[in-house]
Structure 1
């Protein structure tokens, strides 16, 4: 009789643990689906943002320097950015970014004397003129890549 009680208790414990494990596994699957959905939304947002900025740059609605800064940062935020080697893929975009990333923007500009701001603006504009054509070529290739990525990650 004691053996039967121990056996029944053992079966109940195993059944309870199995149910608990099933509940935890179900929660884990839901959590993983949520993470995957959020990652897909983030990736789509990054691709859409890159595409929008690139189009604006192509249509001269966005200064090349501003667009290059924004695109370079967005590309760096993509998963596996190092593996894709974006700097070598679109060298002109990254070259302009590297040349001007130290320059102050927005409120930080107000902390500099006007003469220094004019000097930096002149330098930035010179870089934009120098790199305009290669940047526009990079933008064409970038747009093709973004469209392929959006199809791939659907």
Structure 2
């Protein structure tokens, strides 16, 4: 029937090309599906980070308001704010934006609190209190300025995360 071997080779080549085309189409389809899944996972992760940051920012706003209204002293407020701001996932270099808050925290973070503080003798507690008060007096104006800026930052960030 077909006496020419080139015809067989041509048919074989067409079969191979067809199989390769089918495999390539399948692989491209899988790649497209994987890319879509990765984008969806990334979007879900971004959404989770935004929700986390939104909760943190809401807490920051409450603490800043309390500090502004003198319902929360600088030591407790800076301690809480520093920890909260460090836990934000979508913001960086906040220690550079609000240096006084972080400087105060760095100055008092070694001090024991709650039950650990109660275990200390009276003299040691007074010494730590004096150290804290000196640092607070030194940084008070800078902390007030940082608190005002932080309040503005937190409100802007909160509205941005709500969109």
Smaller-chain TM-score bracket:
0.7 to 0.9
Where do 1:13-92 residues align within 5 Å? 13-78=23-88, 79=90, 81-82=92-93, 84=94, 86-87=95-96, 89-92=97-100
Where do 5+ consecutive residues of structure 1 fail to align?
none
Q: Report the RMSD for the aligned CA atoms in angstroms.
A: 2.6
Where do 5+ consecutive residues of structure 2 fail to align?
1-10
Residue 6 of structure 2 aligns with which residue? none
TM-score normalised over the length of structure 1? 0.77
- 2:158 matched to 1:147? no
Which of these two proteins has the greater Rg computed from alpha carbons?
2
Q: How many residues align?
A: 151
| Separation of aligned partners in 2, 1:28 and 1:90 | 36
Alpha-carbon offset, residue 148 of structure 1: 2.2
